[in-house]
Structure 1
Amino acid sequence: MAKSGKIKYKPGDIVTIPLPEARFAYARIFEDHTFGIFAHWSAKPEPLAQVATHPIAFFVSGTDSAIKDGTWLVVGHVPFQDAEASFPPPVAICYDYDSNTWTMGRPMVTHKGTEKFVTAKEVAGLDRLLFCHKPALVAATIVDRLIDGNHAYYKVRPSGSSSSAAAAPALAPQVMQVAPNPSTTGPWGARAQENDDASDWLAGLEEEPGLGLGRIDEAFDQVLSAEPSAYLEVTECAEVVAAATVLAKMHGLAFAADIASDECMAALAKRAKRRSPKSTAALVQRALLALAAVQDPERSELRGLMVTQEHADLGAAWSKRMGQLVRGLKAAHRRLASA
């Protein structure tokens, strides 16, 4: 749900992260949506002076929505010595943990927005890039590593290792492995359906296509009913893009052809025939307004995750896709308005 207003923060800030079972962890904010997790947890919140005496145990990449809505409290600031120190260490990308292979053919890392190939020796022991797209997943990862001591799953396995992979934690299917660009395999992508939240929304649409137009309108409403300055979380943003893309397919836009099955689209078309051109034009206009909010760099968590220095190619592809979607829906709106 959209929150009213948002809290600003900067690298070097220290935040308190509530964990299950009335426990608290602490993190220092680094660049690139990364949290340095202190090697310490407590049964009640502790002051900065006590927290900052502990070293950083590991890093977690994830959403900052819980900071912006005030769930994770900023309790102080410890400045970095220089800009270089504000970046987390290199992490492995394009790596399949289960098979212990590299999807680009050889080891690859990302650091400070730059991706490069490295040797097996250089990547040995590094964490792999996993992105927690919900605050609860950040907390679950912290529990798994900090409290339960399960680190193996999050790291690159030894080169040539024939040993069994470490058991994946229960949260694993919900944590995204971020690919460096849209051409590589991975749950992030420029298309609307290449996102877990959007995929879930589309699956619901396929199950009950007769309710589709209502679901589309609800997706737009959760953004449009929020206050103008409200922070929009990744789930609601992803659902807006998915709903708008379905609407685009209903109006014959070719790039949206694979967003939903023919059976689902037929059911939607049947429902749409009951609406007047004026009513449909109003729905398209709502889609355009919601998409404008999703592309707002000050409000949209989805845009903040997609358009980053670290994944410039993915951000460019996503922005291009959004531009196509907006232009196509504007053309559809003009046709409907003149009907």
Structure 2
Amino acid sequence: MTGKKRKRIKIGDVYAIPLPNGKYAFGRIFKDAGIGIYKYIGVSIDDIPRVEEYQFIVGVYEYVLKSGVWTFVKYRPFKSDDEAFPPPSCIVDNISGEFSIYHKGEIRSATKLECEGLEVAAVWADNHIIDRIMGVDKWHKDDEK
């Protein structure tokens, strides 16, 4: 099915992500609007990852997957329903400074320590995901000022 347009986005779909250097990253669709970006970078759209190892897993806007810029290449079903959920992510309330953890559609109170090392809950646009794949982390640089 390489290169075919997908009418409906399914959990387990793998998309090829064209990169500015002419190579391809790949992302697999998780539940809760998540996408796991594979560690593997391919030299062509058909050079897909062979193992399920991810650089990061974040939320992705639906328009990114429906735009046709990222191409559906393969369906890889998850072994279990539980495996199809992205890992827990952290929510920080900008006003109160309180921490929460979001996982499997539920939000619970948490401590700063519990949130250490977790991805911040957010939905990402395609350009930001590509920046992160390419090693650009300009969104963190502002935090250091």
Alignment TM class, shorter chain as reference: 0.7 to 0.9
Give 1:92 shift: 0.9
TM-score w.r.t. the length of structure 1 is: 0.37
Deviations 1:70-118 (A, max 9, x none): 221111121112211111111111355xxxxxx4443211111111101
Do the aligned residues in 2 keep the contact of 1:7 with 1:70 (CA within 8 Å)? no
Structure 1 residues not aligned, in runs of 5+: 97-102, 155-165, 170-339
Give 1:9 shift: 1.9
Matched with 1:81 is 79
Question: Where do 4+ consecutive residues of structure 1 move more than 6 Å?
Answer: none
Write the distance in 2 (CA, Å) between the matches of 1:31 and 1:47: 25
Which of the pair has the greater relative contact order for Cα pairs under 8 Å at 6+ separation? 2
SS class of match (1:60): strand
What value does the CA root-mean-square deviation take over the aligned residues?
2.6
SS class of match (1:53): coil
Question: Identity over aligned residues, as a percent?
Answer: 26
Write the distance in 2 (CA, Å) between the matches of 1:6 and 1:82: 23
SS class of match (2:45): coil
Matched with 2:24 is 24
Write the distance in 1 (CA, Å) between the matches of 2:31 and 2:78: 11
Are 1:129 and 2:129 an aligned pair? Answer: no
- Specify which structure has the higher proportion of helix: 1
Write the distance in 2 (CA, Å) between the matches of 1:30 and 1:57: 14
Q: Report which of the two structures shows the higher radius of gyration computed on alpha carbons.
A: 1
The total of aligned residue pairs comes to 139
Structure 2 residues not aligned, in runs of 5+: none
- Specify which structure has the higher proportion of strand: 2
Matches for 1:250-261 after TM superposition, within 5 Å:
none
Deviations 1:173-226 (A, max 9, x none): xxxxxxxxxxxxxxxxxxxxxxxxxxxxxxxxxxxxxxxxxxxxxxxxxxxxxx
Deviations 1:244-274 (A, max 9, x none): xxxxxxxxxxxxxxxxxxxxxxxxxxxxxxx
Do the aligned residues in 1 keep the contact of 2:58 with 2:119 (CA within 8 Å)? no
Write the distance in 1 (CA, Å) between the matches of 2:142 and 2:59: 18
TM-score w.r.t. the length of structure 2 is: 0.80
Are 1:114 and 2:106 an aligned pair? Answer: yes
Matched with 1:93 is 91
